[in-house]
Amino acid sequence: MKFNMTLHPNQVLVIKLYGELDHHQTEKVRAQISKAILQGNVKLLIWNLEQLHFMDSSGIGLILGRIRELRAVDGQTVILNPSETMQKIFKFSGLGGLIMEGSEQNVILQARGIVNG
């Protein structure tokens, strides 16, 4: 699957996912994403899902796994622009509170405020 990662100033990492995220795809991207989090010393991870057309519970496993890695450095997670079906899946899984809507730039600014608190 296509995905790209951009490391912004202040240790903000944006991961943009495209297409379909299932068990098959998560197995392929997990290691790369994990490595970027550790190497970038990431404090805020934004999953931009606006170009993701499908996700099942494998996506929940992938995001929860990264939340665990970020916990060690007090890193925060934002789930940006998920589809309606994905929103339901996140809510069932207790991740509804991480959902935000809007542009990447606005969320980076807003979330930085939250992080720097």
Partner 1 sequence: MDNQMTLTFIARSENEGLARVAVTSFIAQLDPTIEELSECKTIVSEAVSNAIIHGYANNPNGIITIHAIRDGAAISVAIKDEGCGIEDIEQAREPLYTTKPEIERSGMGFTIMESFSDFLQVESNVGIGTVITFTKQISSARTLVT
Cα–Cα distance for residue pair 57/106, rounded to 1 Å: 28
Q: Which is nearer to partner 1, 54 or 102 (CB)?
A: 54
Cα–Cα distance for residue pair 95/7, rounded to 1 Å: 23
Candidates 10, 32, 38, 88; binder of partner 1 (CB under 8 A) is: 88
Q: Which is nearer to partner 1, 55 or 111 (CB)?
A: 55
The helix (H) or strand (E) run that includes residue 49 is none
Per the CB < 8 A criterion, the answer to whether 56 and 22 are in contact is yes
Question: What are the tokens at 84?
Answer: 């309606």
List the one residue out of 4, 54, 53, 61 whose CA is nearest residue 27.
61
> Which of positions 6-65 make contact with partner 1 (CB under 8 A)?
20, 22-24, 26-27, 30, 54, 56-58, 60-62, 64-65
* Rg value, the chain, Cα: 13
From the CB of 22, what's the least distance to partner 1, in Å?
Answer: 5
Give the count of residues interacting with partner 1 (CB under 8 A): 23
93 binds partner 1 (CB under 8 A): yes
Q: Which residues sit at the interface with partner 1, rule CB under 8 A? A: 20, 22-24, 26-27, 30, 54, 56-58, 60-62, 64-65, 83-85, 88-89, 92-93
